């Protein structure tokens, strides 16, 4: 709940009134008598040792777990908190036991830890996050994964953005979650207005933010906080190592039928136009630098008419245009083989011709057949040798052409294929500089779409590439990669969750069911297949 929920924030000198203080305590007792086992964090006043404090009570059931005082009291513009309250800094530094409604509780800075040690949280009040040394930094350093802020922030043009920046930066620095709630419109009984801003930020991203001047009723908002993701980022940072605060235990009930309130992004690698442009510029910078540093005279790459090689060709073309280089330094080679379809071959030829690069068509059919004869393969069995011979021969052509042209072989294999090991060892697995190596398959498709507006002369070809079935075309033109590996959008989601968030199997299986409408069996199959391939293909 917001700051000073029980009394109201804008009472002015009424805060000193004995009747108000007594009725605030009665209201607190009422909450204790009628609360279930939820954790409740609620703002009110505390009279202690002749002073009045602005505090947050942390309650579970009929028990007060702890009382946290506000330390940064504002005395400028519309705020005059030092007139009413005493800063709790003394008790932040040195917590003590006090008596509240017959209960002996800690007063000061502390952390609250679930009995299974799964979640640890801390609490601060409003302006305590606006200072040079915010309270939350101490809470995070000592292990808080979530920090709750009870606030009464007045309406002002532009202020919502400032709150969002504060919340996101706090959660980013603290490698945790930050949950903020502020007083709503019905609070106003003076010359200021409140707008009920509520924010939930996780690891620097505001996953929920809502402010309304129209909400004249109580409302509850829910948001999902991924604690396993937070714990992973904690482990990888390594600086949350202090343990100087009092830890108070609470009971954390478990739900077995939980459903997500707001689902995470099922396509984490899909970027907007501005982000896509920045990726393309970054890749073109890297490619230009490598070309310059190596003193190579050109770039050699194989063009199949599929997604990966098309994007690589587009990136090379963009680099030439951006740095005023002749496109003819790009030596693009299409190498139809035993199972190449007319459609993909035509797309490859059209792309090379319309982009005006140096193009080659080298039919490798007879050479592959001859090689299979050399190793006593019957040439009919469409086994792994049959497939890999084509990929390896194509790489042989590219490497030797690069020598002849004093050029670099540009690799086209994407991050998803690398993670899953879906490449031929010593074949398309190899290059001199792979510009797609950091780009997953779903992003490859998205970036290729982006180029449609950049190069409208090949818009039809790019639309065809984007919509075509993904296939290696090594056995037949109807050979589907996703029939073998599963859908790339699901594999890319698994890739992101494991490498970016350290996800466990249990968490990922749950998310796959929630996001992709899979049952548990299929979700586990996707996870197990990904892990099996990821581990077994590490040598690539």
pTM above 0.85, yes or no: no
DSSP string of 40-95? EEEEEEEEETTEEEEEEEEEETTEEEEEEE------STT--GGGT----HHHHHS-
Cα–Cα distance measured from residue 453 to residue 519, given in angstroms and rounded to the nearest whole number? 39
How far CA 99 is from CA of 64, 106, 310, in Å, comes to 10, 9, 72
Cα–Cα distance measured from residue 281 to residue 447, given in angstroms and rounded to the nearest whole number? 12
Q: Which residues of the chain have pLDDT under 50?
A: none
- The H or E element that residue 242 is part of is none
Q: Encode burial over 51-90: b for 16+ CB neighbours within 10 A, e otherwise.
A: eebbbbbbbbeeebbbbbbbbbbeeeeebebeebbbbbbe
Tokens 């084509």 correspond to what residue?
390
The pair of structure tokens assigned to 479 is: 């050979």
β-bridge pairing 205-210 and 198-202: antiparallel
**Contact call for residues 73 and 54 (beta carbons, < 8 A):** yes
Cα–Cα distance measured from residue 500 to residue 503, given in angstroms and rounded to the nearest whole number? 8
Q: CB neighbours of 406 closer than 8 A, spacing ≥ 6?
A: 296, 297, 298
In this predicted structure, what is the pLDDT of residue 188?
A: 64
Partnered with residue 534 across adjacent β-strands are: none
Smallest CA-to-CA distance from 316 within 431, 430, 418 is with: 431
Q: Is 185 exposed, middle or buried (0-12, 13-18, 19+ CB in 10 A)?
A: middle
Alpha helices in 405-458 (DSSP H): 415-420, 441-454
Cα–Cα distance measured from residue 2 to residue 182, given in angstroms and rounded to the nearest whole number? 5
pLDDT in tens, 63-103: 999 999 999 898 877 788 899 999 999 998 899 999 999 99
In this predicted structure, what is the pLDDT of residue 221?
A: 85
Cα–Cα distance measured from residue 107 to residue 191, given in angstroms and rounded to the nearest whole number? 32
**Contact call for residues 215 and 242 (beta carbons, < 8 A):** no
Cα–Cα distance measured from residue 359 to residue 352, given in angstroms and rounded to the nearest whole number? 6
How far CA 465 is from CA of 310, 345, 350, 448, in Å, comes to 8, 11, 12, 8
Smallest CA-to-CA distance from 123 within 108, 104, 103 is with: 108
Question: How big is the chain, counted in residues?
Answer: 540
Cα–Cα distance measured from residue 422 to residue 271, given in angstroms and rounded to the nearest whole number? 24
**Contact call for residues 508 and 516 (beta carbons, < 8 A):** no
How far CA 453 is from CA of 25, 323, 445, 456, 457, in Å, comes to 65, 19, 14, 5, 9
How far CA 401 is from CA of 64, 299, 353, 363, 396, in Å, comes to 76, 10, 19, 14, 8
Partnered with residue 209 across adjacent β-strands are: 199
Smallest CA-to-CA distance from 265 within 511, 518, 528 is with: 511
In this predicted structure, what is the pLDDT of residue 334?
A: 95
**Contact call for residues 144 and 121 (beta carbons, < 8 A):** yes
Cα–Cα distance measured from residue 446 to residue 433, given in angstroms and rounded to the nearest whole number? 22
**Contact call for residues 43 and 4 (beta carbons, < 8 A):** yes
Smallest CA-to-CA distance from 425 within 531, 529, 534, 538 is with: 538
Cα–Cα distance measured from residue 74 to residue 85, given in angstroms and rounded to the nearest whole number? 10
The pair of structure tokens assigned to 189 is: 């009984």
Cα–Cα distance measured from residue 341 to residue 119, given in angstroms and rounded to the nearest whole number? 56
């Amino acid at each position: 709940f917001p700051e000073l929920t029980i009394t109201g924030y804008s009472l002015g000198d009424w805060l000193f009134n004995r009747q108000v203080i007594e009725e605030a305590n009665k209201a607190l007792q009422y909450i204790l008598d009628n609360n279930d086992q939820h954790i409740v964090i609620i703002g009110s006043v505390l009279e202690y040792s002749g002073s009045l404090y602005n505090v947050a009570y942390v309650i579970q059931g009929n028990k007060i777990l702890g009382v946290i005082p506000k330390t940064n009291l504002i005395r400028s513009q519309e705020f005059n908190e030092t007139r009413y309250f005493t800063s709790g800094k003394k008790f932040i530094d040195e917590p003590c036991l006090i008596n509240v409604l017959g209960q002996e509780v800690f007063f000061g800075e502390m952390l609250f830890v679930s009995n299974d040690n799964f979640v640890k949280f801390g609490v601060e009040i409003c302006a305590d996050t606006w200072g040079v040394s915010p309270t939350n930094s101490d809470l995070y350093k000592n292990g808080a994964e979530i920090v709750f802020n009870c606030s009464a922030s007045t309406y002002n043009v532009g202020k919502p953005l400032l709150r969002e920046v504060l919340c996101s930066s706090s959660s980013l620095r603290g490698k945790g979650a930050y949950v903020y709630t502020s007083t709503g419109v019905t609070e106003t009984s003076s010359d200021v207005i409140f707008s009920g801003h509520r924010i939930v930020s996780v690891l620097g991203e505001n996953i929920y933010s809502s402010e309304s001047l129209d909400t004249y009723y109580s409302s509850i908002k829910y948001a999902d906080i991924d604690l396993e993701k937070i714990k992973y980022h904690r482990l990888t940072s390594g600086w949350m190592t202090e343990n100087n605060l009092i830890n108070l235990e609470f009971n954390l009930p478990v739900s077995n039928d939980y459903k997500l309130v707001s689902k995470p992004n099922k396509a984490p690698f899909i970027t907007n136009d501005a982000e896509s442009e920045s990726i393309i510029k970054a890749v073109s910078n890297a490619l230009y630098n490598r070309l310059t540093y190596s003193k190579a005279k050109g770039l050699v790459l194989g063009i199949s008419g599929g997604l990966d090689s098309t994007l690589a060709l587009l990136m090379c073309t963009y680099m030439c245009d951006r740095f005023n280089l002749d496109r003819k330094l790009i030596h693009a080679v299409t190498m139809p083989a035993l199972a190449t379809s007319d459609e993909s071959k035509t797309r490859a030829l059209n792309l090379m011709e319309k982009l005006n690069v140096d193009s080659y068509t080298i039919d490798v059919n007879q050479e592959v057949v001859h090689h299979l004869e050399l190793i006593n393969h019957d040439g009919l069995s469409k086994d792994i040798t049959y497939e890999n011979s084509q990929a390896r021969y194509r790489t042989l052509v590219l490497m030797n052409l690069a020598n002849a042209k004093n050029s670099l072989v540009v690799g086209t294999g994407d991050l998803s294929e690398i993670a899953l090991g879906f490449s031929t060892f010593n074949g398309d697995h190899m290059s001199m500089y792979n510009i797609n190596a950091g780009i997953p398959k779903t992003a490859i498709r998205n970036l290729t779409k982006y180029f449609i507006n950049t190069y409208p002369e090949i818009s039809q070809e790019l639309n065809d590439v984007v919509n075509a079935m993904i296939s290696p075309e090594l056995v037949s033109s109807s050979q589907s990669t996703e029939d073998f590996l599963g859908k790339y959008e699901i594999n890319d989601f698994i890739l992101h969750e494991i490498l970016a968030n350290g996800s466990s199997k249990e968490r990922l299986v749950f998310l796959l069911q929630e996001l992709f409408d899979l049952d548990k069996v299929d979700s586990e199959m996707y996870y197990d297949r990904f892990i099996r391939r990821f581990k077994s293909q590490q040598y690539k």
